[in-house]
Amino acid sequence: MKKRGYGIANMWYGIGNTANHNPSGAFVDILDDGTAIVLTGCADIGQGSTTVLAQIAAETLGINIEDVVVVAADTEVTPDAGATSASRQTYVSGNAVRLAAKNAREQVLAKASEELNIQAERLSIYQGQIWVGDNPSGVMIKEIITQCRSEGVLTLGHGSFDPVTTKLDSETGQGIPYATYAFATQVAEVEVDTETGIVEVKKIVAAHDVGKAINPQNVEGQIEGGCSMGIGYALLEEVVVKDGEIQGPGMSTYLIPTAMDVSEVYPIIIEEYEASGPYGAKGVGEPALVPTAAAIANAVADALGIRMYELPLTPERIIATIKRK
């Protein structure tokens, strides 16, 4: 018989390394033609950080994203940005790039202030043009850069960011381990076959507080990917070790979900502005995976009326549990 069930799970998760310094650095070089190069040690391992950092640099410099080139994760030329881990790159390296871009932007605005004879505080850059208050000045960033060059001045910015944390008290474990946290709630709908023991995840609704979604489509991709991994964690993945040897050392023996096994995922982006983040952003990488297995296990418990305490929820375990009842 096939039984339906629904489960919910909540999580909070610290962004950045735990109770430790984990600084990121960045350089921004505004070139003669008004385009910019960003140097960052941040490794894009598929999560899209290079796109996000280009967006942050473009937003801060007031130029178009097409005019930003990001050179990332080349230890020969890029400054250290720490590991792509701990859901930290948008938050930590994003801040480093923002500060480096801000530093370069201030140099441009200082020169623009001289040229236009207007206080720098009243000036801004938007779409490659210098603006005075709410009005375009008609002077392009490129012209200011040309002026800088004619005076032998380069427009180089640098920035670094380290999340504010404290060491944890060795007695009580208390302190400030993270500068900010991500929050999420996921709901899973499952169908359990009480004879084959197969759990089919029908739907996952995943609401994630990301501070600010710098790139919403990218955030949705992260959430969908995390949920897919969570399905594997809940239903398939298990490291079996026998006499010190891992029994499933390959993708043919350590099974993860295929595209056919992944449910519909409905991401909901919650934007609760984080004051210490770049444009209010936090991280979403690991949080997307954290509550999924718990939501699925709760849904299975709801469907069967029996709670299981061991993952993965394999068909054998489901059947053995039903029979014991």
Partner 1 sequence: MLDCKLYFQPESLTVALDLLAKAEKRLLPLAGGTDIVPAMSKNKLNVAGLVDLSKIQELHQIKIEGNEISLGSLCTFQEIETSHLIRTKVPLLADAAGLVGSPQIRNAGTVGGNIANASPAADTVTALIALDADVRLRSTAYARTMSLKELLCGAGKTRILPQEIITEITFKILQPGSKGGFIKLGRRKALAIARMNMALIFSVTEGRINFARVGLGAVGPNPCRSNALENTLIGQEPSDSLVEDFVMEAEREVARMLGSRPSAAYKCEAVKGIARDILSSLFSSSEMVVE
| Residues near partner 1 (CB under 8 A) | 193-198, 236, 255, 257-261, 315-316, 319-320, 323
Instruction: Provide, rounded to whole angstroms, the least separation between the CB of residue 236 and partner 1.
Output: 7
Q: Which is nearer to partner 1, 170 or 258 (CB)?
A: 258
Instruction: Provide, rounded to whole angstroms, the least separation between the CB of residue 268 and partner 1.
Output: 26
> Could you tell me the end-to-end alpha-carbon distance of the chain, in angstroms, rounded to an integer?
16
Q: Is 286 helix (H, G, I), strand (E, B) or coil?
A: coil
CB 27 within 8 A of CB 158: yes
Q: Within 10 Å of residue 172's Cβ, how many Cβ atoms?
A: 7
Angle of CA points 111, 28, 212, to nearest 5°? 105
Q: Which is nearer to partner 1, 172 or 258 (CB)?
A: 258
Instruction: Provide, rounded to whole angstroms, the least separation between the CB of residue 316 and partner 1.
Output: 5
- Rounded to whole angstroms, the Cα distance separating 311 from 227 reads 16
Residue 311 makes CB contacts below 8 A (sequence gap 6+) with 233, 234, 238, 293, 297
Instruction: Provide, rounded to whole angstroms, the least separation between the CB of residue 324 and partner 1.
Output: 11
Rounded to the nearest 5 percent, the helix, strand and coil shares of the chain are 35, 25, 40
- Rounded to whole angstroms, the Cα distance separating 291 from 183 reads 10
Active site residue 286: yes
| Given 189, 220, 274, 286, the catalytic residue | 286
> What is the DSSP code string of 73-109?
S-TTTSPP---S-TT-IIIIIHHHHHHHHHHHHHHHH
Instruction: Provide, rounded to whole angstroms, the least separation between the CB of residue 224 and partner 1.
Output: 18
Is 151 buried (19+), middle (13-18) or exposed (0-12) by CB count in 10 A?
Answer: exposed
Nearest Cα neighbor of 291 from 216, 208, 211 is 208
Catalytic residues, by residue number, are 286
